[in-house]
């Protein structure tokens, strides 16, 4: 821990290089903005070059004028297809061996088990699990060699609570949490912390299909204690915390940010009045 008892800087990320994979939209974009706001140099990574650049431009607007013209850009955009194992293996060196990794890409095909095609099943597993493993391995190796770093993966409450049509997605997220625990046990003795954030229902492109169905939308709203969808920006505190010295003794953990979804049984719409 570098900040001693100066608690005013406990969450600051100055002089640290962060890579946010999936920064082109949703939670990845908000995480990038939050890391920049707390002093980190951020590389906004996405397979969509235009989306990554848009996030980088938004981040740059947050910087003070005295950052302009620095020898090394504080924010930049990069392209990476995380399903390309060779490209992922080369990414840590290409991105300058970051101190922080936030990894957010995921896919969900909402179908009953009996209706899944082989291609659909493979597409979810390939992105949510296999790509996550190769990203974790590549950046973990880089950080272990340098004896420092924080990795934050994206899980979901679907790793624990499910519904029809969430089979493979939920299974991959449960596997991600297992990977986080395994990586923490292996990397933490080398100064590298590994954790995950597990959101509830968040208004992102991934959940657009559900939000556009009024019946499902209202059902999801009723399921959490707070009675609403989360905004992507409401998740960023978890990412900043786990990346920072405030979480210097936190590893192998899953931080749930779900508006009370997993704390209540069946939602709050029929609670007994006092």
Quick one: tokens of 112?
């009953």
Q: Are strands 254-257 and 192-199 parallel, antiparallel or unpaired?
A: parallel
Residue with tokens 């596997």: 175
Q: In sequence order, what are the beta bridge partners of 18? A: 42, 100
Dist. CA 209–CA 3, nearest whole Å? 44
**Whole-number Å distance between alpha carbons of 209 and 179:** 29
| Of the candidates 46, 29, 35, 32, the residue with the CA atom closest to the CA atom of residue 12 | 35
3-state SS assignment for residue 253: coil
Chain centre distance of CA 67: 27
Q: Are strands 17-21 and 100-103 parallel, antiparallel or unpaired?
A: parallel
Asked if 96 and 239 touch (Cβ cutoff 8 Å), the reply is no
Please name every residue paired with 44 in a beta bridge, in sequence order, or none if there are none.
Answer: 20, 77
Decide if 14 contacts 243 (C-beta within 8 A).
no
Can you say whether residue 159 is alpha, beta or left, with left for phi > 0 and alpha for psi between -120 and 50 degrees? alpha
User: Is 241 an active-site residue?
Assistant: no
Catalytic residue selected from 169, 220, 241, 249: 169
Q: Is 10 helix (H, G, I), strand (E, B) or coil?
A: coil
Q: What is the C-alpha to C-alpha distance for residues 161 and 14, in angstroms, rounded to an integer?
A: 37
- Identify the CA nearest to 189 among candidates 151, 148, 142, 152: 148
**Residues with catalytic function:** 169
């Amino acid at each position: 821990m570098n900040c001693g008892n100066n608690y005013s800087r406990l969450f600051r990320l100055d002089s640290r290089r962060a890579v946010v994979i999936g920064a082109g939209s949703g939670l990845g974009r908000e995480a990038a903005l939050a890391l920049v706001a707390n002093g980190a140099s951020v590389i906004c990574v996405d397979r969509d070059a235009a989306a990554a650049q848009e996030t980088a431009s938004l981040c740059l607007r947050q910087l003070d004028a005295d950052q302009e013209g620095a020898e090394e850009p504080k924010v930049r955009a990069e392209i990476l297809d995380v399903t390309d194992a060779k490209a992922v293996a080369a990414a840590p060196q290409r991105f300058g061996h970051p101190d922080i990794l936030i990894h957010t890409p995921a896919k969900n095909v909402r179908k009953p088990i009996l209706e899944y095609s082989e291609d659909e099943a493979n597409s979810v597993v390939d992105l949510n699990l296999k790509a996550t493993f190769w990203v974790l391995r590549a950046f973990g190796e880089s950080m272990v060699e340098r004896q420092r770093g924080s990795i934050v993966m994206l899980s979901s409450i679907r790793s624990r609570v499910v519904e029809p049509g969430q089979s493979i997605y939920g299974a991959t997220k449960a596997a991600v949490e297992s990977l986080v625990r395994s990586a923490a046990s292996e990397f933490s003795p080398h100064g590298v912390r590994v954790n995950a954030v597990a959101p509830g229902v968040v208004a992102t492109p991934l959940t657009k299909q559900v939000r556009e169905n009024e019946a499902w939308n209202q059902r999801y709203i009723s399921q959490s204690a707070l009675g609403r969808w989360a905004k992507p920006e409401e998740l960023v505190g978890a990412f900043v915390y786990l990346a920072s010295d405030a979480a210097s003794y936190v590893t192998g953990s899953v931080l749930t940010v779900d508006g009370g979804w997993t704390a209540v049984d069946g939602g709050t719409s029929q609670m007994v009045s006092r």
